[in-house]
Structure formats: structure tokens, C-alpha cells
Amino acid sequence: MKKNISKWVALTLAGAMACGLMGCGSGDNAASTAKSTSEKSASATSTPAAGSSSASASSASSASASSGTSGELIKVGVTFGDLANPVWADCANHMMEVDESYGFDVTAVGCDSSDEQIDQVENFITSGCKAIVVGAKDTDSMGDYMKQVIDEGIVVFALGYEISNYTADMMVRNYDVGYSVASMAAEWINEKFPDGCEVLINDAPEYDVLVDRVSGMEAALKDLAPKAKIVSYISGTTTAEILPQAENAMTANPNIKVCVTIGDGGALACKEAANGMGLNTDDFAIFGVDCTEQVAKAIYQGDAIRGAMSLGGGKLHGETILDVLQKIFADEDYPKNTPYPETQVTKENVAEVAEQMGFSIE
């Protein structure tokens, strides 16, 4: 038997979507329950490394020593601040699909608060997990807590959001990413609206690192398209929670011509809102961060989303994490800091990027 992960993630996302459409907050995220598991396939094969870094470190002997007996799967706990985020859901899903080929047994959960996330980590450790992968809900509290976890000989992999204590990480240069995606929007504005236009920004002020991303967006618009005017901010990371806000913002500001979003959840929400309200014209444009399959298809089809900053996608992130963990537990040199890949995606190169990430858009 195999883990029924695809169904689990699909139900998670569907539950989050339904919640958002009914007006409840992201705190009702159904992804805070652990995956259901069954017997895995015995035909798993070795998976190649994904991701690299020039920095390296020698793995800690305590981590290697705690890996268990030879041939035994090493338990890994994954906790993300929001599994309704499509990229994180893809990452968790893929890690649980291929974990045995790396020698691991992965369990992934989402959380609604930093306290819940700390409880999840404690439960992982109690259940015998030798490594914790964390996309922090709150970087300060999680960073402080992870010092205790590392002191217990547990490997900590930090994803996306920088925390103060970790064994290895994969981090985004958030200000630079925000500046880059907004520079794409600025180019569109200058070409289509030389006298400027109204702009909508998707933010998420509860995540300090995403505040940095939005600061980069604002700076790029100010520097590169100074006649553009930001008329609305809508908050959130998932399509479900952002969609009603996008509809309200576009109703209140029907002259919005450009949307710049922190993630694909915002891009897809703005696309759906614009299509539903008849605002998706040839000069209307959405630019976001992350190029998931739905976003890539929209770019390719010319459906409102004109460009995106690809950070590699959940599959690549998951394989990178597992590859680094594998090196750590094998007591090999490993990259302590792995940067996210950053690629500006437009209609001209979206097919190539999609192929690299393993999905078809045609």
C-alpha cells in the first residue's frame, strides 16, 4: 500500500478553500491534522539530489549517531505555518511520496499558531523523530525554541523563513524577490500606462519575512514606475482567504490594472476575481511570486497572470530538503545554506520552466 497523500492534500486544500469562501479565517485550516498512512510501495527507487549551495558544513556526529540502526527508516516531522499554501502543500506532499527512497519516514502537519507549532515539534520528538523541518509561523519564538531542540541532538531544517537556530536551511531573499516581481509589473505599467495606473498589492503582515517582500515590491514600483498609485492592500497567503478581499478591492477600485502578489495564492485569487467581474482585459496584469502549475498555465494562456517569480516549486524544495537530510545522517558534508532558485517567468519561458519543475501546461 502507498500513503494516500494526494487525496489528503487535495482534501486539505478543498477544506481551506471552502473555509475562505464562507468568510472564515485561515485559522480554520484543516491541514493541522497529521497525514493518514498505510503500507508503502516496495518499489521506491533512489532519487537524485535537487538544489545546491557553495556553502558546506560537516554534519554533527550526534545527528548521525541518532539515526537508528542500518536500514531503519529515520522519522522526520514537518510542520509548516500554512499547508493551504499551495507551494508548501506540494512540498509536503512530495516529501511524503518519495521519503522511503531517501531512507526517511515523513509526517507533515500545518498549524494555526506558533504555540501549536511548538506543540507539534514536541510531539514529533516524543514519537521518535530525529529531524524536524519547519516553516516557522513565528520566526522569533521558533528560533528560540529550536535551540533546545538542537541541544537534544535533533536535526533542524528551516525552510523559507529565517530562524536563529537551525542545522541547515533553504531561504528566500525576500526583499530582492519582492523587488524583482514588482520590476516585472513596473515594466508592464510603463509600456501600457505611461501616465501610471492603479495598483493592488497582496501582503501578509503577520509574517515578518513577507513584510520584507512587500517592502521590495513597494520600492520597485516607486523606483521604476513612479506614476503608478497603490490604491489597495489585501492580506493573506491562500486563494480562499484572499479571493473575497480581491473582489471587494476591485469593486471599490474598478480602475485597478495591475496586481502584485506575495505568492501564487494571491495571484490566483486576483485572476478569479478579475475574471468574475469582467476586468480581465488585454491591459490587465497580475504578477506574483511562485510559479505553480495553475499559475504557469494562466501565464501560458494569457489569462490575467502575465508573469511570476519562480522559486523552484514545492517538488524541488522537498527533494532539496531530503537530499540535505540524507547527507547529514550519512555523516557527509552538506550545504548549510541553500538559496532558493529565482527565475522571472513570462509567456516566453514558462513552458521551459514548467518542464523543469515536472508538469505540463499544454
- In this model, does residue 12 exceed pLDDT 70? no
> Residues of the chain with pLDDT > 70: what percent?
81
- In this model, does residue 42 exceed pLDDT 80? no
pTM over 0.85: no
pLDDT of 43 reads 26
- In this model, does residue 344 exceed pLDDT 70? yes
pLDDT digits (tens, 9 = 90+) for 117-136: 999 999 999 999 999 999 99
- Comparing CA positions, the residue from 263, 271, 260, 279 lying closest to residue 184 is 260
Average pLDDT over residues 1-16: 37
Average pLDDT over residues 322-339: 97
Q: How far apart are CA 299 and CA 336, in angstroms?
A: 34
Can you state the percent helix, strand and coil of the chain, rounding each to 5?
Answer: 45, 20, 35
pLDDT band at residue 70, thresholds of 50, 70 and 90? low
Q: How far apart are CA 123 and CA 318, in angstroms?
A: 22
- Comparing CA positions, the residue from 292, 57, 315, 336 lying closest to residue 171 is 336
What cell was used for 185?
509589473
> Residues of the chain with pLDDT > 90: what percent?
69
pLDDT of 209 reads 82
Average pLDDT over residues 161-182: 94
Q: Mean pLDDT, the chain, as a whole number? A: 83
pLDDT of 55 reads 40
pLDDT band at residue 71, thresholds of 50, 70 and 90? confident
Least confident of 37-51, 181-195, 274-288, 296-310: 37-51
pLDDT band at residue 32, thresholds of 50, 70 and 90? very low
Asked whether the beta carbons of 183 and 172 are under 8 A apart, the reply is no
- In this model, does residue 3 exceed pLDDT 60? no
